[in-house]
Amino acid sequence: MSGTSGTASTAATLTPVEEKAADKARLLTALVNVCGVPHAHWKTHPIYLALKRDGIAHFNVAFNHLTAADIESLKCDKSGDLVPLELNFKMML
């Protein structure tokens, strides 16, 4: 086998700051690809706003551990009033 050194590849280790940023990116990916949140408007979408209001800003840290009760209790600000997240958005989650 010419051209191979026989060494195993090493996995890259992320710093805590890089891992936190990657985990936040995972949440955005899930919201866009699974929940259908438009990428151009993800910061203003009711699902994102409801999750943010509940302190869910990372995929592995919090989003991955959402229960049905957690999803049912999500609320978002609509015209200055705090209202439950719409059922269609809850079903997406």
Predicted pLDDT at 23: 92
DSSP the chain: -TT---PPP-PPPPPHHHHHHHHHHHHHHHHHHTS---GGGGGGSHHHHHHHHTT---TTTTGGG--HHHHHT-EEEETTEEEEPPHHHHHH-
Residue 7 resides in a domain: no
pLDDT confidence of residue 3? 58
**Hey, how many other C-beta atoms are within 10 angstroms of the C-beta on 51?**
23
Q: Which domain holds residue 26?
A: 16-31+39-92
Query: pLDDT tens for residues 40-89?
Result: 999 999 999 999 999 999 999 899 899 999 999 999 988 889 999 999 99
Total number of domains constituting the chain: 1
pLDDT, tens digit (0-9, with 9 covering 90-100), for 6-40: 566 667 788 989 999 999 999 999 999 999 999 99
The whole-model pTM stands at: 0.79
Q: 75 has which bridge partners?
A: 84
- The rounded radius of gyration (Å) of the Cα atoms in the chain is 18
- Residue 6 domain-assigned? no
